[in-house]
Copies of this chain bind each other. A is one copy, B any other.
């Protein structure tokens, strides 16, 4: 798996990433969302009824961009595949929630909503700094 260079590792602590998936019509779809990096592994907590989750279940490929909000010429892209696992007990969701001051993520979910853990498995890592020329 490609590594994330030291120059951009600070972005793994950022608050928001943008996830691109491919929809059933072949068009990309993007949304901003929470993420949690543990070491170099970036994971998301998604609700199964959402279109992006359905897209990943049908086509387990994604691109995740973490933009430096203070200097948007700097960003990190993780492009590759995803693996999806059940998280019915909110074990991962609450670990991610702790990053955002929300130790019990179930409070924001509707009745009957289910969560999965999406792990990004990059085949390419792009660490961009347009300031560097």
Question: Which residue of chain B has the shortest Cβ distance to A80 in the bound complex?
Answer: B27
A62 to B59, CA, bound (A): 17
> Copies of this chain, how many?
2
Question: Which residue of chain B has the shortest Cβ distance to A74 in the bound complex?
Answer: B32
In order of increasing CB-CB distance, the 8 nearest A-B pairs are A20-B20, A20-B28, A16-B72, A30-B63, A27-B61, A28-B63, A30-B65, A69-B69
> Can you name 20 extra interface pairs (CB under 8 A) apart from A16-B73, A26-B61?
A15-B72, A18-B18, A20-B28, A20-B63, A22-B22, A22-B27, A26-B59, A27-B81, A27-B123, A28-B28, A28-B61, A28-B63, A29-B77, A29-B79, A30-B30, A31-B65, A31-B77, A32-B128, A67-B67, A69-B72
